[in-house]
Amino acid sequence: MKSATLFRYYWRELRVQRKKIALTVAAIAWGTLSIVLLLAFGEGMKDQIDRARRGLGEDLIIVWGGQTSIPYKGLPRGRPVRLHPEDVDLLRERIPGIRRISGEYSRWGTPITYGTETVTRHMIGINPEYGEMRNWIAERGGRFIDLEDMRTKRRVVFLGPNLKQDLFGDREAVGEQIIVDGVPFTVIGIMKEKLQMGMYSGPDVDKAAIPASTMETLFAQRAWFGNLVYQPGEPERRKAVERELYRVLSGKYQFDPDDESALSIWDVIDSQKTMRTMMTGIQVFLGVVGGLTLLVAGVGVANIMYVTIKERTREIGIKMAIGAKPDNVMYQFLTEALIIAFVGGGIGLAASGVLVRILGGIEIENEGLQFLGKPTISWEIGVITVAILGAIGILAGIFPSRRAARINPAESLRYE
C-alpha cells in the first residue's frame, strides 16, 4: 500500500524530468543497440563459419607423401615418399581406428566439354566414402559415386555446382553426356551448394569427380595419386591412429616410423578447433566493444542522476523532515536509475530485433561477405544484455543515490 502511493508520487517526479530523462534513455537505447548488434553479428558469423568449415568435411585427416629426414636401414635421408592406391585398402584393413578412408587422384586442367562449351577444371578420382567425408552431397535427382561404379569402372562423373552452371547454365544436367578429356562420361549427380572454408586444391564447387578405378584405367598416365583422406572412428584418439598410420606405412615404404616429415599430414580437426577458439575470441572482442559503448551511456545515467538529485535536494530534505528514512531515499533513486536502464535497454533490444530481421533478409552475393552470415540474437545474448543493463543501472545509481541519502535536511530546507 505504502509503496504504491510512494511510487505514484515518484512517477510524477520522474515525469517532470521527462526531457532530460528521455535523452539519457535514448543514450542507453543506443548503447544497447550497439552491443546487441555487435554480438548478433558475431553470433551469425560464428554460425556461418561453422557451416563453412563443415564444407570441407567433418573430422578429417588428410595425408600426403613427404620426404624422409632420417636415414633408415641403409637408405639415405631426402627420399621422397609417394602414396599409392592400394594404401587405401591396406590402411583400412590394418587400422581399426579408421572409420572411413578414401584415396584421391588429382588431375589439374582437365578439359571438359558439353555441346559447344569447353572448360578446364580440376578433376579428382575417389572412392565412394569420399562423398560423405568431404561433404559432397548430391542434389535431389542425382547421386554420388557408389561401390558398383567402382567395381565396374563406370564412366560416370559428379559435378560441383559452379562447374555445372558453367557448362549447363540452368538446364538439367543429370543424365546428360559430357566429354572429359576426350572420353564421354554420364553426369550422375550435382553437388549441393556449400560454403567451404579450408581447401587444399581449390574449392570443391568447381571440381568434377569420377571413380578412382575409372581414373586409374583411363587416365593413369595423366593423373597423380596425391593423397588419402580419412576419418578416425573416435576423434579424441586420432593421434594414436596417426601413429598407427605411420607405423603401417613405414613398414611398406621403408622409413623410420618416428620420421615425421616422411608424410605430410593436415589434421583438419586441429585447425577447426583453432578456428573455433579464434571465433570465440572475436565474439568476446565484439562484446567488449559493445559493452564499452553501453558503459558510456551508463556514465550518462550517473550524470543525470547527480543532476536531478541536486535539483531535487529541497524535496528530498522535505521528505526527510517529515519522516523519509535515508535508506528509502537511496532506494528510490537506485530504482529510478534501474528504470532508466531497463526502459532504455528495452527500447534498444526491440530496435535491434527489428534491425536484425531487416538485415537478415538481405541476400548477399559477394563471396567474401558471405562469411558474415546472418546476424542472430540468441537467448544468451539477451541474458548477457539484461545482466549488463542491470549492472549499469546499479552502478550508475548507487553513488548518486548514496549522495542523496546523505543530504542534511536541516541545510537543504533553510535555503531557497
Partner 1 sequence: MISMREVTKVYRTGRVDVEALRGVDIDIDGGDFVSIMGPSGSGKSTLMNIMGCLDVPSHGTYLLDGEEVQGLHHNRLAEIRNEKIGFVFQNFNLLPYATARENVEMPMVFLGMPAAERRRRSHELLNLVMLGDRMDHRPSELSGGEMQRVAIARSMANRPAIILADEPTGNLDSASGLEILNLFERLWKDGHTIIIITHDASIADRSRRIVHMKDGLISEDAPNHA
Site residues (CB under 8 A) for partner 1? 1-2, 5-6, 9, 12-13, 16, 314-315, 317-328, 408-410, 413-414, 416
Cβ of residue 335: shortest distance to partner 1, in angstroms? 17
Least distance (Å) from partner 1 to the CB of residue 322? Answer: 4
- Which CB sits closer to partner 1, 93 or 315? 315
Q: Which is nearer to partner 1, 87 or 336 (CB)?
A: 336
CA–CA separation, 317 and 319 (whole Å): 5
Question: In this complex, which beta carbon is closest to partner 1, that of residue 288 or of residue 410?
Answer: 410
For 203, list phi and psi in degrees, rounded to 5.
Answer: -70, 140
Nearer to partner 1, 203 or 326 (CB): 326
Shortest Å distance, C-beta 332 to partner 1: 12
Q: How far is the CB of 324 from partner 1 (least distance, A)?
A: 6
Burial class (CB in 10 A: 0-12, 13-18, 19+), 125: buried
Q: Which residue has the cell 517529515?
A: 322
Q: DSSP of 144-167, one letter per residue?
A: ---HHHHHHT--EEEE-HHHHHHH
CB of 321 to partner 1, least distance (A): 5
State the CB neighbour count (10 A cutoff) for residue 87. 21
Q: Which residues pair with 321 in a beta bridge?
A: none
C-alpha grid cell for residue 132?
560423405
Grid coordinates representing 7 are 511510487
Q: What are the distances in angstroms from CA 237 to CA 228, 241, 266, 269, 363?
A: 19, 7, 16, 12, 41
Residue closer to partner 1 (CB basis): 271 or 328: 328
Q: Least CB distance from residue 337 to partner 1, whole Å?
A: 20
Give 317 or 397: the residue with its C-beta nearer to partner 1. 317
**Among candidates 208, 246, 205, 301, which has minimal Cα distance to 95?**
246
